[in-house]
Amino acid sequence: MEHLVVSHTGDVSGFVDVELAKNNLARRVVLTVPNFNFALSVLAETGMVSALPRRFVEIHGARFNVVAVEAPLPLPRFSINAVLPKVAMMDAGLAWLVQLLGSIRTGASVPRSSRRDRSMHS
């Protein structure tokens, strides 16, 4: 089957390809798209398949008539990266959220921002 890969950098290979290579297998990637929503809209109009987060497809797939099925081989969990311009980090709330997401990944604690503290005590 023809495969669609979600990649904000345009890379045509990802974690699925690493797992396939371990079994001396490969897939035929014919398209990359920059985000999961775009992926669903393309999948709805083509015969392509894609490896997408199950929960994302469970939430949004019905609008596109796209369903999730089990992969034919076990796949590891993967990380989703947040991509934003540096100027966006000038927003204290967004900077706090990015720091929070990073701390969840590493298991560290995050101090509450002054902006968040003010809203919690208002």
Q: What are 31-68's pLDDT values in tens digits?
A: 999 999 999 999 999 999 999 988 899 999 999 999 99
- The whole-number average pLDDT for the span 14-30 is 92
Instruction: Give the predicted TM-score (pTM) of the model.
Output: 0.65
Share the mean pLDDT of the chain: 84
Task: Find out whether 17 and 26 touch, Cβ atoms under 8 Å.
Answer: yes
Specify the CATH number for 2-64; select among 3.40.50.300, 3.40.50.720, 3.40.50.1860, 3.40.190.10. 3.40.190.10
79 has a pLDDT exceeding 70: no
Running DSSP on this structure, what letter comes out for residue 88?
Answer: G
Residue limits of CATH 3.40.190.10 in the chain: 2-64
What is the radius of gyration, based on Cα positions, of the chain?
Answer: 18
Q: What is the pLDDT of residue 118?
A: 43
Higher-confidence position of 56 and 77: 56
Query: Nearest-CA neighbor of 48 among 3, 83, 103?
Result: 3
Q: Tell me, what's the pLDDT at 74?
A: 83
**Cα distance between residue 43 and residue 38, in whole Å:** 9
User: What share of the chain in percent tops pLDDT 90?
Assistant: 48
Cα 80 from Cα 46, distance rounded (Å):
25
User: What is the 3 state secondary structure string of 4-71?
Assistant: EEECCCCCCCCHHHHHHHHCCCCCEEEEEECCHHHHHHHHHHCCCEECCCHHHHHHHHHHHCCCCCCC
